[in-house]
Amino acid sequence: MENTTGTIRLGSENFEFPIIEGTEGEKALDTRTLRAKSGCITFDEGYGNTGSCISDITFINGEKGILRHRGYAIEELAKHSSFLETAMLVIYGSLPQKSCLSAFRKQVRESASIHTGMHSHFDGFPTSAHPMAILSSMLNSLGAYYPKMSSNNREQDLAYFDETAALLISKVRTIAAMTYRMKMGLSFVHPAEKRYTENFLHMMFSEPYSEYDDKHGAGKALDLFLMLHADHEQNCSTSTVRMVASGGANLFASVSAGVCALWGPSHGGANMAVIKMLEEIHAAGDDGSKFIEAAKKGEAKLMGFGHRVYKNYDPRAKILGKSAEGILSSIGMNDPLLDIARKLEQAALEDEYFVSRKLYPNVDFYSGIILKAIGIPVEMFTVMFAIGRMPGWIANWKEIAENPKSRIHRPRQIYSGETQRDYVQLVDR
């Protein structure tokens, strides 16, 4: 990978460093030895210019709006693949053979139940608890039921990796459905012999007296939603998973931390915030123009717009924007929020403020409209993102765990506090 070098000049001294080049031509100055050589560290709060790892999983070109998993364009995957097939691609690196995919589907289907000991954990939460708080706690607790797979002994955790990966992809969906039912005061619905998303909808919405009937293709729409969220390189939650994994933590603990990182409104929580924003705009009788003006003045944020990496249309938003129309028309639903979203998008794409800052719709802009149409309550939206992102977290954990050279992630800081002081006894203060 190394081909050439770059020089940093500090005062009158030159320091030379290798330049690393990725397979898509991205270049990075490898400054790992800078402090040892010069006493200086690099400062990059928010990591906008820092490569934290070398990864084979996902490629993004934010300027061109390109997203590829293991070399396959997201548009192709959205057209031909499914969530579980893309999960295998993201985790294992290649498109699976038919027999492997069938075996994986079977393993996921057979791992869907949650140990009955865990059912009582749900009773410990108030019904007002946020589903993301429940999800992260439950995923970490889950590890306690599988001690062999969550040993924090790298070799052992890796020996059980395939089983753990299928188990987490399966059970995250069961826990999500159970969380919803607990909050609604409904009894849990056991998983059935169904495909991935259909089983999820069954566990969410079936009742003892009536089985959920997916007559509008909600399962298909949900599969696309999950697939489009499968991985997105070094975002906040994935970096968190890698950070936790770098200390040697098991996969359950690492993805549980990922859920916490995803929760915030600048990251996965944005899908909830978008719908709340659209509802407020609708309730205020605004067509979006007042909101745009407020965002320009810094009084509001246009949720679902902007991205650290994309300085062009997020390709996932393009796909979801189109499929939102499809699912609404198949349900025969006319959601005024979709019209507001379209108007907001159009206005922002023509407005100097958004154009000059290269702010485009991101994945969260249309995803909430789809989830709402399927009948998922707004509070569960970020949980849906977490189900979709599970393969990416697992793949990134694997990359860290399998790398014999991987080191604990331990950034440095610039200390800006008090310099040394003498302790003052309590009586003298």
The residues binding ligand CMC (CB under 6 A) are 235, 266-268, 270, 295, 301-308, 357, 359, 362-364
Cβ-contact 60, 308 below 8 angstroms:
no
CA 143/CA 391 separation, integer angstroms: 17
Q: Which is nearer to ligand CMC, 93 or 265 (CB)?
A: 265
SS3 label, residue 1? coil
CA nearest to 246, candidates 50, 407, 56 = 407
Out of 364, 409, 422, 428, the active site residue is 364
**Does the annotation mark 307 as catalytic?**
yes
Q: Name the closest residue to ligand CMC (Cβ).
A: 306
Please give the DSSP secondary-structure letter assigned to residue 82. Answer: -
Out of 121, 232, 307, 314, the active site residue is 307
Q: What is the DSSP string of 39-72?
A: S-----GGGTT------SSEEEETTTTEEEETTE
Cα separations in angstroms, 65 against 231, 303, 348:
15, 19, 18
Residue 21, strand partner residues: 27
The backbone torsions φ and ψ at residue 264, rounded to the nearest 5 degrees and listed phi first, read -65, 150
Q: Which is nearer to ligand CMC, 6 or 265 (CB)?
A: 265
What's the min distance (Å) between Cβ of 208 and ligand CMC? 37
What's the min distance (Å) between Cβ of 42 and ligand CMC? 18
Q: Which is nearer to ligand CMC, 143 or 268 (CB)?
A: 268
Residue 66, strand partner residues: 61
**Does the annotation mark 119 as catalytic?**
no
Q: Which is nearer to ligand CMC, 212 or 305 (CB)?
A: 305
Half-sphere exposure of 295 (CA within 13 A, CB side): 22
**Residue 409 CB burial class (10 angstroms; 0-12, 13-18, ≥19):** middle
What's the min distance (Å) between Cβ of 302 and ligand CMC? 4
Q: Which is nearer to ligand CMC, 112 or 295 (CB)?
A: 295
Q: Which is nearer to ligand CMC, 203 or 302 (CB)?
A: 302
Cβ-contact 41, 412 below 8 angstroms:
yes
What's the min distance (Å) between Cβ of 235 and ligand CMC? 5
What's the min distance (Å) between Cβ of 413 and ligand CMC? 19
What's the min distance (Å) between Cβ of 215 and ligand CMC? 31
The sheet carrying 72-73 orders its strands as: 58-61, 66-69, 72-73
Q: Which residues are catalytically annotated?
A: 307, 364
